Amino acid sequence: MLRYILQRSGYMIVTLFIIVTITFFLMQLLPGTPFSNPDKLSERQLELMEEKYGLDKPVPVQYITYIGNLLQGDLGLSFQYEGRTVGSMIGERIGPSALIGGQAVVIGLLLGVVLGVISALKHNSFLDYGSVFIAVLGMSIPSFVFAALLQYYIGVRLEWLPAALWKDYSHSFLPSIALSVLVIATVARFIRTEMLEVLGQDYVNTARAKGIGEVVVILKHVLRNALIPVVTVLGPLAVSIMTGTLVVEKIFAVPGLGEQFTLSILVNDYSVIMGITLFYSALFIFIVFVVDILYGVLDPRIRITGGKNDG
Amino acid sequence: MKKLLLFLLLSSFLLLITACNFGDETSSEQDGDDGATETENDSSEEEGTSDESSGEKVINLVEESDIPTLDSSHAHDGIGFTVLNNVKEGLYRGDENHTPQLAMAEDHQVSEDGTVHTFTIRDAQWSNGDPVTAHDFEFAWKRTFEEVGHYNVMFETASVLNATDIINGDKSPDELGVEATDDKTLVVTLENANALFKQLLTFPTFLPQNQSYVEEMGEDYGTEAENVLYNGPFVLDSWSHDQEWTYKKNPDYWDASAVNLDQINVNVVKETSTAVNLWETEEVDRIELSSSYVDQYTDAEEFEVIELPDIVFMRFNHNLEQFQNANVRKAIDMAIDKEGLTNTILNDGSLPLNGLVPLNFSNSPDNHEDFREINGQFNEGTVEDAQALWEEGLSEIGSDGFNVALTVSDDENHQKAAEYIKNQLETNLDGLTVEINTVPFSARLEQEKAVDYEMVISTWGPDYSDPMTFIDMWVTDGPANRMDFSNEEYDELVQQARVETDAAARYELLLQAEQILMDEMHIAPLYQGAYSMLTRTFVKDVVHHPAAPEWDYKWADVE
């Protein structure tokens, strides 16, 4: 097991390195400069500024400098927010994103499992059609529509929850609910399909034949096996939701990371693009790794290490 | 194992909540609750808003993005300029009529030839208690060159001695024509007399900085509310990045008796629909509307339109044969119904533009007549007139029509305008086809600078309140020309205006220059922008300047 983890860590570092390299060179293809208000900058002024920030050097030299700084843990300074370190920018803005995303995943997982289970158990009933309908709605309607509706009806008309801004904990509810819809739909669909398949398996019949109560059969034998594919999709989905979603953050005026990332690409803020890409990829790779480990926990038949010597 | 997992999950969740900057909020909220809670409505329990009965005067505003920096040497955008203008003060401050009035300087003597300006600094102090001295100005101005600030070119515009040479690398920043002869006396030497000098001194790049403080802060200077010293009407009390910032009245400001507001809360809200919802829940007191909301609020008593001096126009590539022909250019400009564009398509208060210098931007020095009204509307005519010009132009260049690529950036309004222009031109001018070429803003700029386009929808906003900021764009090889336009007479007029000290004569030169550019429609002006705003009726006397710094809250009040 330890050998497996070490090996995987090695791969993860190599993957990250490749991502950083590709992003760095792709980024150079973006038109324009990282300096704000370029409309007003004369050629001479641009030259002076590029010289000051080392952008006049050949791209490979800039790359080596960047990697050098990176190895020392220095992500550089933002161009747009002069003087602010990329590390502190990510640090400040991941919190709100992770909070609303995390809550969305929890809400989505709970409701999604309930919907999926009901749907599978009451197969081809009205309840089933109802939850399938909800799932299809959730998949096909983009979250910003829910966000706008929630904001208007719950925030403005009913005034049950704050419409927007980021002041106290209650401000995180509406964005979380808006984001959770996609998770509910995804989870419900997977659970339903998988449970229907598992319900037909021989070992379920065996369990029932042994006289085990229906609830225990469902929870211990059916649901547990149906969860495996859910874990596969949920990992990456959770990462992408928790690292920030542009539209929902914009609508609810949440100072999150998704909005920052999009903005940095639009304005060529090189160091921020690199920093967030690196952060996002690292998290993603790590979650995929955790998911692989979880497979083994959920289903002892899956041996991640595979070989006879291990385990 | 399971319990451990659950514990880890829960504790990371708690950690997350504490990491969400809610903490900053509570502190500023408590400040608000001390005496400021809105009485007008019952929906704002959780926000600290204005309350007259408790004596605290508070207003709540929105801005669409964060402050990039509080370092006046690096400041480069409207939001940063507005904040700096309200928390710091330079030698001059623009008053409610946009006229520069003495501020940190209490006296200003000019030598006979207009090149040596001697300022006496008034008794004022920084927010750490240090006195504001002439050295703070000398230090800040020179530092702007050392730091390669975005706007060091303003010193060149102001004709400060050696500014051009420093930018060109021929002299060191230390040789800039500014010197503090003692704590109270600042001597600024100009290359030549400059009619714009006083006006330019209200621009944030000319603000002072306390040397020992800036050096102590190092790279952190200007990155947080705590990392800057203030000497303006307000201090920045808190600043949560991309979330909100709070101004508080500066009790040590020299003119504190003129300042009425106790606190201004500014929330970062990027979506207009969100701002509208916050307006509806009475959490904010002033918002800007987009065109889709204008019809909904146009009858509200809080609704107002503020014309902006930001112009949108088309550049013609003067290297192309068809655009060297004046009749072709005039026909294209005349064939576009600009009123239809502003009233129907944009519908946000924008005004049609038939000149270079926008309306409500500059008044003549003697009889205070609007620049746009003196020079009038250029190239107005009917579709038939445009068609006649078009036929004439085509026969002059020996063509029976052509296809033109219209480059436009991916801005929503510009794209709408481009579609409209394509339709107008193709309908009204026989033989002209328009192909719209949408590119990102930065790509548009690169193509403009390389003059690698046929026609392009461009924008320009003023750097200071004087027509020169538009006129000097078009000098031969000027950095803002970007269409290879060159006219000796024009260059000559601009040069004369730069050194002319008689205000009326100078204005006349600027008017003439515009006529040269517009008589033959070297550009096709389209419209000038506007803010459609909602402002609570109890908010009074917020000053809006036509050029940066845009907003001044010094005299603002709540009734």
Q: Which of B301, B270, B292 is nearest to B534 (CA)?
A: B301
Residue A35 within a domain: no
Amino acid at A298: L
pLDDT in tens, B180-229: 999 999 999 999 988 889 999 999 999 999 999 999 998 889 999 999 99
Q: Which of B339, B324, B450, B332 is nearest to B398 (CA)?
A: B324
pLDDT in tens, B305-314: 999 999 999 9
pLDDT at B301: 92
pLDDT in tens, B131-158: 999 999 999 999 999 988 889 889 999 9
Q: Read off the pLDDT of each residue in A168-184 and give the average, rounded to a whole number.
A: 88
The CATH number of the domain holding residue A247 is 1.10.3720.10
pLDDT at B22: 66
Residue A291 within a domain: no
Q: Which of B522, B535, B63, B96 is nearest to B301 (CA)?
A: B535
Amino acid at B193: A
The confidence band for A218, taking pLDDT boundaries of 50, 70 and 90, is confident
CA distance to A39, A49, B192, B444, per residue, from B449 (Å): 9, 17, 30, 9
Quote the tokens at residue B41.
Answer: 């409505």
Residues of chain B with CATH 3.40.190.10: 2-64+233-302+536-558
Look at residue B46 and tell me whether its pLDDT is greater than 50.
no
Q: Read off the pLDDT of each residue in B106-131 and give the average, rounded to a whole number.
A: 93
Q: Which of A150, A174, A276, A179 is nearest to A237 (CA)?
A: A179
Fold of B307-531: Dipeptide-binding Protein; domain 3 (3.10.105)
Look at residue A101 and tell me whether its pLDDT is greater than 60.
yes
Q: Are A45 and B152 in contact (CB < 8 Å)?
A: yes
Asked casually if ipTM beats, i.e. exceeds, 0.95, the reply is no
3-state secondary structure of A306: coil
Look at residue B244 and tell me whether its pLDDT is greater than 50.
yes
Q: Read off the pLDDT of each residue in A107-132 and give the average, rounded to a whole number.
A: 86
- Cβ atoms B465, B203 nearer than 8 A: no
Residue A111 within a domain: yes
The confidence band for B47, taking pLDDT boundaries of 50, 70 and 90, is very low
**A306 in contact with B at a CB cutoff of 8 Å?**
no
Quote the tokens at residue B62.
Answer: 């929105």
Residue B393 to residue A211: CA distance in whole angstroms: 96
Residue A119 to residue A121: CA distance in whole angstroms: 6
Q: Read off the pLDDT of each residue in B503-514 and give the average, rounded to a whole number.
A: 93
Cα B196 to the center of its chain, rounded Å: 17
What mean pLDDT, rounded, does chain A reach?
A: 84
Q: Homologous superfamily of B2-64+233-302+536-558 in CATH?
A: Periplasmic binding protein-like II (3.40.190.10)
The confidence band for B52, taking pLDDT boundaries of 50, 70 and 90, is very low
Give B24 or B59, the one with higher predicted confidence: B59
pLDDT in tens, A15-57: 999 999 999 999 888 877 888 777 788 888 888 888 888 888 8
Look at residue B36 and tell me whether its pLDDT is greater than 60.
no
Q: Read off the pLDDT of each residue in B81-89 and give the average, rounded to a whole number.
A: 95
Give B9 or A187, the one with higher predicted confidence: A187
Give A39 or A166, the one with higher predicted confidence: A166
- Cβ atoms A100, A176 nearer than 8 A: yes
DSSP per position, B434-462: EEEEEE-HHHHHHHHHTT--SEEEEEE--
The confidence band for B30, taking pLDDT boundaries of 50, 70 and 90, is very low
3-state secondary structure of B1: coil
Q: Mutate which of A103, A166, A241, A294 to disrupt the B interface (most B C-beta within 10 Å)?
A: A166
% residues pLDDT > 90 (chain B): 70
pLDDT at B341: 92
pLDDT at B19: 66
pLDDT at B451: 92
Residue A54 within a domain: no
Looking at the structure, give the CATH architecture of the domain made up of residues B78-220. Alpha-Beta Complex (3.90)
Structural domain boundaries enclosing A239: 90-263
Q: Read off the pLDDT of each residue in A54-63 and give the average, rounded to a whole number.
A: 88
Residue A85 within a domain: no
| Number of independent structural domains in chain A | 1
Look at residue B20 and tell me whether its pLDDT is greater than 80.
no
Q: Read off the pLDDT of each residue in A132-155 and give the average, rounded to a whole number.
A: 86
Asked whether the bond before A175 is cis by omega within 30 degrees of 0, the reply is: no
% residues pLDDT > 70 (chain B): 92
Collect all residues with Cβ–Cβ distance below 8 Å to A63 and sequence separation of at least 6: A21, A24, A25
Residue A117 within a domain: yes
Q: Read off the pLDDT of each residue in A237-263 and give the average, rounded to a whole number.
A: 84
Q: How many CB pairs under 8 A join A and B?
A: 164
Residue A172 within a domain: yes
The confidence band for B18, taking pLDDT boundaries of 50, 70 and 90, is low
Residue A231 within a domain: yes
Amino acid at B28: S
Set of chain B residues whose Cβ sits within 8 Å of the Cβ of A296:
none
HEC sequence for B46-98: CCCCCCCCCCCCEEEEEECCCCCCCCCCCCCCHHHHHHHHHHCCCCEEECCCC
Q: Read off the pLDDT of each residue in B344-364 and give the average, rounded to a whole number.
A: 91
Looking only at the bridges linking them, the beta strands covering B402-409 and B432-439 are: parallel
pLDDT at A221: 79
How far A31 CA lies from chain B's nearest CA (Å)?
5
pLDDT in tens, B277-294: 999 999 999 999 988 899
Q: Residue B118: how many CB atoms within 10 A of its CB?
A: 15
pLDDT at B376: 92
Residues of chain B with CATH 3.10.105.10: 307-531
Q: Are A251 and B150 in contact (CB < 8 Å)?
A: no
Provide the whole-model pTM: 0.86
Q: Mutate which of A35, A39, A80, A248 to disrupt the B interface (most B C-beta within 10 Å)?
A: A39
Q: Are B440 and A89 in contact (CB < 8 Å)?
A: no
B538 exposure class (CB count in 10 Å sphere: 0-12, 13-18, 19+)? middle
Residue B180 to residue B185: CA distance in whole angstroms: 6
**A55 in contact with B at a CB cutoff of 8 Å?**
no
Give B295 or A307, the one with higher predicted confidence: B295
Nearest to B20 among A33, A43, A99 (CB): A99
Which 256-295 residues of chain A touch chain B by CB within 8 A? 259-260, 266, 268
